[in-house]
Amino acid sequence: MATNCEIKKIALGVLILISSFSINAQNKKTKDRNAIKEMCGCFEVTYLFAETFNYSQDSTYRPSAKKRSSGLEWAGLVQDENNKVSIQHILQVGNPASPMIIKHWRQDWLYQNSAFYMYNGTNNWIFEQKDKKNVRKQWTQKVYQVDDSPRYEGSGTWVHVDGKSYWENTTTAPLPRREYTKRNDYNITLRGNRHEITNSGWVHDQDNRKILRTAEKEDVIIADEKGHNTYKKVPEARCNAAKEWWTANHSKWEMVRNKWDEIYGRNTNLSLKTKVDNKPLYKHLFDDTLSEKKEMDAIISSFVKK
């Protein structure tokens, strides 16, 4: 029978073990958050896309042309909390002396998130509540359109090994902007996303599938696509115009995000109209004269199908 002294030693050992696990978990989470925040800053961005294989039975099928583009992009912290990091991307294009500023995409990173809006084609997102044990220690990346409407999201574990930090996930998404006005033979992009932090910035590597989804039928794979987007960090001063624009406009877009948060918080399937009054949502919201919360809320609500 164990003595009181032996019992105390065992209890102390258990406490040390639990404390060690807790510290290691906290250190891992700190590494995760630091990796995510490495995606902030001023970057020269290069986008490369090419179809690799096609599976269409149509003899007249023509693959999408290879796509290469580049630009200057600023990514700034919107929120920096223990379980959430939000990053807003702003494009800066044209003459550096007098550039054009374009509000671009946003990415939110949520720790151990279990509520998801999964894209299902034709501007529909299916709400899914996952079991918490299936997202333990994972981070969800939620990606939003330029008007803060939903785009795609998925959960995965940040990996820090052999001097590398990366995160991977595969999820459904709408057609990319470079495709949706040109292609109607598929309606879902199955995105294989990999974000890796590098010495010079970060890389968004993609292995995508172009899928035709029809109700009560099996998905049809049309083609595979490779994407390789590189973000090379450059001096912050090069993005001053983008930062100044965001300083002047962030209050308006905070109101827009708040309205969307209320809609997402309903935790139900979401279906959006493509146009209202013959204009997509971003054209309504990009109107510089629009600044009143009540009016913006009404515009966003008008795009949500009942």
| Model confidence band, residue 19 (pLDDT cutoffs 50, 70, 90) | very low
Q: Read out DSSP for 241-297?
A: HHHHHHHHHHHHHHHHHHHHHHHHTT-S-EEB-S-BTTB-HHHHHT-TT---HHHHH
pLDDT at 136: 97
Looking at per-residue confidence, does 153 or 25 come out higher?
Answer: 153
Task: Say what the pTM is.
Answer: 0.90
pLDDT of residue 21: 45
If pLDDT is split at 50, 70 and 90, which confidence band does 20 have? very low
Alpha carbon 225 to its chain's center: 19
Residue bearing the bigger pLDDT, 306 or 290:
290
* pLDDT per residue as tens digits for the range 162-212: 999 999 999 999 999 899 889 999 999 999 999 999 999 999 999 999 999
Distance CA 191, CA 210 (A): 9
What pLDDT, in 10s, does the model give residues 99-117?
999 999 999 999 999 999 9
User: How high is the pLDDT of residue 107?
Assistant: 98
- Residue where the block lists tokens 């990346």: 141
Per-residue confidence at 267, pLDDT binned at 50, 70, 90?
Answer: very high
CATH number of 27-241: 2.40.128
pLDDT at 297: 98
pLDDT digits 0-9 by tens, 210-253: 999 999 899 999 999 999 999 999 999 999 999 999 999 999 99
Q: Where are the beta strands (DSSP E) in the chain?
A: 41-54, 67-81, 84-93, 100-111, 115-119, 124-129, 139-144, 150-156, 159-161, 164-173, 188-198, 201-212, 220-233, 270-271
